A and B are shown apart, each in its own frame.
Chain A
């Protein structure tokens, strides 16, 4: 869908470009169509990165000329240097790995539970009647409001962080799975039943594929809240991870490392979103065909 923004109606595609001079005499003066098309594609790929690049350049200029104090914001080059230093010492990889494992295991627990429970309440009225009201009530509690009681229950160990992330992720996946299953076209289910599908095969052929678009929306949303909760959980108490790294750097006024941590969160968030999009492209390929 995105491609239409940039490379749809390419009006150079079929309209010949009028040469200033006789084309037969100077064929080299004409730009071949395919090169033009390629340039256009290249431009479309670069365009989104122009604004971030400009910001970096202006920021660097401000730092170098002294308009921006390094206490407030270090120059971009310093952030790169800090990143390189930590990468060489192996510290960066350690923290990123720990944070990623934390985030993904919490996500796996919460998303699996959300998916299973969503499947149950979506499929069986009785389960919905029994559970849905309770779940809707708990849903309105922000995960971060649970921090005090979670610390009392689990201490400040890994378990507390996993619980918070799983809790935050659960509802997005649950609600979208439930909604996805409920909105599968009943005419298709009836058709499937009249062709002898039931139980597992009915889910495999009709119900899950029909709900998958909605489930994926839930997963993308959940990935977003996963990072938010991880950041807060790690800045409260941790002995490792990106949050620990940045809090530690703050104590020593290492603004470059603090900024590096923030950028890392941005990068990991983008990565998770790209992953979710890949899943979408794979599972919904009939949608884009």
Chain B
């Protein structure tokens, strides 16, 4: 334990508080006339979307509506069939170092310890890397677990390691592909709160793909509803944070979104 004591002293008053705010602002997204097809199956067509820097946007839709494809295009993991996906004015494929994606499964390497997993792709001297890793683990409340194997962690803890890994690179765009979908209700609420706290301190642009309407309303500034590759609804959420699911305004918004989603 004493190995981490320097950080504990350094950060004691706010052990679980977010990173100190950094100057880097979030990315600006601009999608124009996007079309994406896999063979003859068109997933997205005539798709336009602009997202301002630092915005938290939730994309909701039934499975197969193209929301994950949209995320993968932004991450540079897929290329558009036609049209453009631009991050800060550059093609998404060239901005991969600015972009971090969190998947539904944590995708930790089972043969690396938690620390080594967080440090993946990080360059620098050993002590520098270790310092950053410890700091990131502390942010997600996993200090002291650095030497454990991923298989010793619970599902929620694995996702927090994945979050620490993504945050370590100080991304300007964080893409979340249903990262909380496989967690139990309580862990999900905790992790939502953690993501909200870190996001509000960091200023990065966040795009959350989910099929959980209340999760979208808890977290997002703006909710986009996708159906068959088109934007069905685009709504700002102006409820004060932290949001409470018991709030009548929350409930009416949730009803509204759900009725759009069900098509009545």
A binds B: yes
Is B189 positioned at the interface, with any CB of A under 8 Å from its CB?
Answer: no
Knowing A286-B110, A286-B111 are in contact, say whether A205-B103 is a contact too (CB < 8 A).
Answer: no
Q: Contact check, A190 vs B105: say whether CB atoms are below 8 A apart.
A: no
| A141 in the interface (beta carbon within 8 A) | no
The reply to whether A191 and B103 contact each other, CB–CB distance below 8 Å, is yes
Which residues on A sit within 8 Å (CB–CB) of B101?
Answer: 194
Nearest B residue to A201 by beta-carbon distance? B121
Contacts of B152-174 to chain A: CB distance below 8 A: 152, 165, 169
Q: Does B109 contact A (CB under 8 A)?
A: yes
A209→B113 CA distance, assembly (Å): 13
Which residue of B76, B99, B109, B169 contacts A188 across the interface (Cβ within 8 Å)? Answer: B109
- B103 and A196 within 8 A (CB): no
Against A, the Cβ 8 Å flags (1 = close, 0 = not) of B219-247 are 00000000000000000000000000000
Write out the residue numbers on chain A whose beta carbons fall within 8 Å of the beta carbon of B120.
Answer: 192, 195, 197, 205
* CB atoms of B77 and A194 under 8 A apart: yes
Given A194-B77, A196-B96, A196-B97, A289-B111 contact (CB < 8 Å) = no
Q: Are A206 and B105 in contact (CB under 8 A)?
A: no
Of residues 80 through 126 on chain B, the ones whose CB sits less than 8 Å from some CB of chain A are 96-97, 99-101, 103, 105, 107, 109-112, 120-121
Chain A positions within 8 Å of B99 at CB level: 194
A187 interface hit (Cβ, 8 Å): yes
Q: CB within 8 Å of B: which of A249-289?
A: 284, 286-287, 289
Question: Closest approach, in angstroms, between the C-beta of B85 and any C-beta of chain A?
Answer: 15
Q: Is residue B75 within 8 Å, beta carbon to beta carbon, of the partner chain?
A: yes
Instruction: Flag if B96 contacts A187 (CB, 8 Å).
Output: no
Instruction: Name B121's contact: one of A190, A196, A212 (CB within 8 Å).
Output: A196
Distance of A289 Cα from B121 Cα, bound (Å):
25
- Minimum C-beta distance from B148 to chain A (A): 8
Indicate whether A194 sits within 8 Å of B105 (C-beta atoms), given known contacts A205-B112, A205-B120, A289-B152: no
Q: Does B149 contact A (CB under 8 A)?
A: yes
A209 to B99, CA, bound (A): 26
| Residues of the B chain whose Cβ atoms lie less than 8 Å from the Cβ of A192 | 120-121
B151 within 8 A of A: yes
A195 touching B121, Cβ below 8 Å: yes
Q: Which of B77, B109, B149, B169 contacts A205 (CB 8 A)?
A: B109
Count chain B CB atoms within 10 A of each CB in A192, A205, A284 and give the residue with the most.
Answer: A205
Q: A190 to B77, Cβ gap below 8 A? A: yes
Residues of A within 8 A of B100 (CB): 194
**A residues whose Cβ falls under 8 Å from a Cβ of B:** 187-188, 190-192, 194-197, 205-206, 209-210, 212, 284, 286-287, 289
Closest 8 CB pairs of A and B: A195-B121, A209-B111, A191-B107, A196-B121, A289-B149, A286-B111, A286-B149, A195-B120
